[in-house]
Amino acid sequence: MFTIIRCGSLFDGKADVAQKNQTIVVNQGLIEWIGSSDAAPKAKDGDTVLDHSDSFALPGLIDLHTHLAYGNAKSEENIDLYAPMEFRALRAMFFAQQVVAAGYTSICSPGDAGRISLSVRDAIRAGLFPGPRVMAAGPYLTSRQGLADWYPSWIGTPDTSVGRLIRSVDEGIEEARRQIKDGVDCIKIAMDGRMKRQDGEFMAAFNQQELDTMVTEIHRLGRKVIVHARGREATLYSARAKVDMIFHASYMDDECLEAILKNKCVICPTLTFLRHDIDFTQPTDQAYQEGRSDASEEEFTIACKALSRAYKAGVPILPGTDSGFALTPYGEWHAKELDIFVKHLGMTPAQALRSATSESAKFLSYGAEVGSLEPGKQADIVIVDGDPLRDVSVLMERKRILAVYKSGEAADLRPRKYNPRQVSDFSHQWWSDLYTRERVEQLFGQKQPGQLHAGQTRPGQRVA
Ligand SMILES: [Zn+2]
């Protein structure tokens, strides 16, 4: 019994153009035949025919940077502390399904607390729940100078954090071995964070020798290494150590680029996060008050210049969004990265779409099965109203995503309501302002609340 999918146009994930009037024949989740509808095998009794002959088909999309367990968090504390691991895993499953509904049938979840991403991966793989294919990491390996050691040294990294504090190479190797025993597909290392030297340069969290030793051992055990590296030094050490994928690489220079090319690293710049920090952050947000939006704008400009050069030089630039933060909620903005690739890195729409399909698939642990529409591959297919080869931003419009098939099975695309206040935002910050007399006067003028006359109400007060 076959599923026969008729498509108006089809982009196979590899070509420069779409083919018109194509048919895909699916047998037990795999593509059995693909080609012109005129030459397609006729449907027999019991076959299912899906008519998308007015629409555009492309391979299921891939986001290499989606943190399943972050829960659309507004703070690191909310990522790490305020929800039990069990709740985070259930929440991750819900959000994983939102990712599929956006057309993203494969993700890499590079760094989550405990074994959350592994468990979500395994439950989906076992058929317990619908959801995307997941390449999963465990907690980041971090030093005290790395991204994931958020807390003061007198607190350390709690067990429920996305980071695991590594105090020596031996500890790093032991942690990697433990994670690999537990079943991770890749190891994430925080190669820098927010700490800078006095000259303003981001400092790498591990030195060259430490990183070399850890990467060599992880590779010996057959797993890929992903690093967070914004700064020049961390990017350079990572490239020299032959890590597989570098997140960000915003401040890479010629020396970095040379090492990246020599050792065939790929870059997942995750520009959506920076872009949203610039475009969405409001003056009332802490991030704005700390000057993060301005810093992001500067980084975005520098990164786009460096990444365009790297792309022209032949470095694969692959899409990821850091979905899982309040700036990048699951299922909403995954295709924004492709739009940025076109508008800011000079990719054609076809190049951007290839990066999100066949090129990204090369990185995935299960990549041989996905990333293009051809016989023998999984029937992971997105049906779109519009032509993403002309304008990739159509992929961001919910109503344009008409159907998503994973192994030939239709995903549920209906928006599902939930109460965001019961999902994240559990930290104990109750006010975002400081109510000195001066501030209160700024806010309310002379007529200060608290001096209300009988019958007056304060803003927001319930009236019986
Ligand atoms: Zn991330």
Alpha carbon of 93 to ligand 1 centroid (Å): 18
Cα dist from 35 to 7, 41, 53, whole Å: 10, 10, 13
CA angle 387, 392, 393 (to 5 degrees): 110
Alpha carbon of 268 to ligand 1 centroid (Å): 10
Alpha carbon of 259 to ligand 1 centroid (Å): 23
Decide: 268 and 65 in contact? Cβ < 8 Å.
yes
Alpha carbon of 16 to ligand 1 centroid (Å): 30
Alpha carbon of 404 to ligand 1 centroid (Å): 25
Lowest mean pLDDT among 27-41, 87-101, 423-437: 423-437
Alpha carbon of 111 to ligand 1 centroid (Å): 7
How far does CA 374 lie from the centroid of its chain? 26
Instruction: State the pLDDT confidence band at 137, using cuts at 50, 70 and 90.
Output: very high
Mean per-residue pLDDT for 62-87? 95
Distance (Å, rounded) from C-alpha 42 to C-alpha 203? 62
Alpha carbon of 180 to ligand 1 centroid (Å): 20
Mean per-residue pLDDT for 116-139? 98
Residue 196 above 70 pLDDT? yes
Distance (Å, rounded) from C-alpha 78 to C-alpha 68? 14
Rounded CA Rg of the chain? 24
pLDDT of residue 446: 77
Distance (Å, rounded) from C-alpha 371 to C-alpha 8? 20
Mean per-residue pLDDT for 218-231? 98
Alpha carbon of 65 to ligand 1 centroid (Å): 6
For residue 145, which amino acid is it?
Answer: Q
Residue 177 above 90 pLDDT? yes
Alpha carbon of 270 to ligand 1 centroid (Å): 8
Alpha carbon of 352 to ligand 1 centroid (Å): 20
pLDDT of residue 458: 59
Q: What are phi and psi of 388, to 5 degrees?
A: -65, -15
Strands (E) across 79-233 are located at 104-109, 133-136, 140-142, 163-165, 186-190, 224-229
pTM for the whole structure? 0.95
Alpha carbon of 165 to ligand 1 centroid (Å): 17
Alpha carbon of 146 to ligand 1 centroid (Å): 13
Alpha carbon of 190 to ligand 1 centroid (Å): 10
Alpha carbon of 247 to ligand 1 centroid (Å): 8
Q: In 3D, which of 340, 327, 394 has the Cα closest to residue 56?
A: 394
Decide: 228 and 147 in contact? Cβ < 8 Å.
yes
Q: In 3D, which of 351, 271, 276 has the Cα closest to residue 307?
A: 271
pLDDT digits (tens, 9 = 90+) for 357-414: 999 999 999 999 999 999 999 999 999 999 999 999 999 999 999 999 999 999 999 9
Mean per-residue pLDDT for 24-53? 96
Q: What percent of the chain has pLDDT above 70?
A: 96
Alpha carbon of 239 to ligand 1 centroid (Å): 18
Burial call 243-281: b when 16+ CB within 10 Å, e when fewer: bbbbbbbbbbeeebbebbeeeebbbbbbbbbbbbbbeeb
- Alpha carbons within 13 angstroms on the beta-carbon side of residue 317 total 30
Alpha carbon of 79 to ligand 1 centroid (Å): 12
Residue 81 above 80 pLDDT? yes
> What mean pLDDT value characterizes the chain?
95
Q: Are strands 30-36 and 19-27 parallel, antiparallel or unpaired?
A: antiparallel
Alpha carbon of 438 to ligand 1 centroid (Å): 40
Distance (Å, rounded) from C-alpha 370 to C-alpha 364? 9
Alpha carbon of 110 to ligand 1 centroid (Å): 7
pLDDT digits (tens, 9 = 90+) for 239-290: 999 999 999 999 999 999 999 999 999 999 999 999 999 999 999 898 999 9
Instruction: State the pLDDT confidence band at 433, using cuts at 50, 70 and 90.
Output: confident
Alpha carbon of 231 to ligand 1 centroid (Å): 15
Alpha carbon of 258 to ligand 1 centroid (Å): 25
Alpha carbon of 112 to ligand 1 centroid (Å): 9
Alpha carbon of 213 to ligand 1 centroid (Å): 23
Alpha carbon of 188 to ligand 1 centroid (Å): 10
Neighbours of 349 (CB within 10 A): 21
Cα dist from 325 to 51, 69, 181, 273, 328, whole Å: 37, 10, 29, 9, 5
pLDDT of residue 115: 97
Alpha carbon of 195 to ligand 1 centroid (Å): 17
Distance (Å, rounded) from C-alpha 406 to C-alpha 132? 8
